[in-house]
Amino acid sequence: MDELGGKNNEKRTDNQSAAELPPPITQTTPTAEHKTEHSDATGSNAAHKIAPPVSWFRNHIDKLKEVGFHDWVTLAATIAIAASTICYTHYAANQWDAMRESNQINRDALNSVQRAFISVGKSMQDHWIFVKPSGAPISEARIGWEFRARLENSGVTPARSIKVVANLLETNNEISPSFDFQDRIATTPLPGTLGPKETSTGPALSVYADTLNKIREHQGHLYFWGWVTYRDILPKTPEHVAMYCIELSAVHGNPIPSVPDGTKGNAYVFDWQQCPLHNCTDDECIGQPYGNPVKIWK
């Protein structure tokens, strides 16, 4: 009994152990249908990943629906204040520019009225003199003629730091349009002042009486040219300039005195003509040549 019982118990235990073991694992090969389903699932996930912008937009729309009326009013007021601030800033900037331009116009107008303004006359001051070569004795002096440019300050304030240079040229031909107007006489411009409504003359230039006879007989030309620079007393104003060129175009009568000591003169008339070039003031002189060596006014 015990042996049989033991055998039966062993058999029962073996059966129970076999019953308690897990079922065997079987491998299955996915079919085409399963692959299709898996592919569809993967595709749907990818589509779900691409879709977030739409869902993000919907989420924000839903959140905007939750915003209260007072919040919308606050937002509108903030936008209105920002827009009005921008408009006012733009308007104020335009007003500032207009005010600066108006002030500049008023300043320029005031300067143009009060500034010094030197002009050179259209004829030269003249009178006869005794002319002798440099270093020659007085006995070799001959009767000649002296010319000076006429200067006038027509402004209501003084002109200061004035520099005047004058030149002359005796020639048988007219000067060409390419004439350089270089200073041909070695003179050092002397600084000076010229009061309001005051007149003066430039450096003296002299010629012999024979030159005037040639002009009277239309056998030559006599040109005078030069420049004047100066400053006014107004602050922050640039240096001013006046350039001139005049021709003694004709001599009528006999300007040479009939008595050598000049006690008795003869009636005469000089005709003057401005050159087509080198007659300008300030900005009109930009690009004009002057000086020695030749410079260009800027």
User: Looking at residue 64, what is its pLDDT?
Assistant: 67
- Domain membership flag for residue 90: no
Q: Contact 276/129 with Cβ under 8 angstroms?
A: no
Query: 65, exposed or middle or buried, with CB in 10 Å at 0-12, 13-18, 19+?
Result: exposed
User: Looking at residue 107, what is its pLDDT?
Assistant: 61
CA torsion sign for 110, 114, 115, 117 is positive
- Residue 246's beta-bridge partner residues? 224, 274
CA angle 168, 172, 178 (to 5 degrees): 65
Q: Mean pLDDT per segment of 10 residues, for the chain of length 298 residues?
A: 45 46 50 48 48 67 73 85 88 80 63 82 91 74 90 93 93 92 76 90 91 93 95 88 96 80 74 94 93 89
- Residue 221's beta-bridge partner residues? 171
- Domain membership flag for residue 69: no
- Domain membership flag for residue 229: yes
Between CA 279 and CA 52 the distance in angstroms is 81
- Domain membership flag for residue 182: yes
Between CA 145 and CA 221 the distance in angstroms is 15
Between CA 227 and CA 56 the distance in angstroms is 81
Q: Where are the beta strands (DSSP E) in the chain?
A: 118-131, 142-153, 159-171, 192-194, 199-201, 205-208, 221-232, 240-253, 268-274, 280-281, 289-290, 295-296
In order of 71, 79, 80, 82, 125, the CA distances from 68 in angstroms are 5, 17, 19, 22, 94
- Domain membership flag for residue 155: yes
- Domain membership flag for residue 92: no
Between CA 156 and CA 119 the distance in angstroms is 14
User: Looking at residue 265, what is its pLDDT?
Assistant: 67
**Hey, what amino acid is at 115?**
R
Strands 240-253 and 199-201: unpaired
User: Looking at residue 46, what is its pLDDT?
Assistant: 46
Q: Which domain holds residue 288?
A: 113-296
- Domain membership flag for residue 76: no
Domains: count for the chain: 1
User: Looking at residue 23, what is its pLDDT?
Assistant: 53
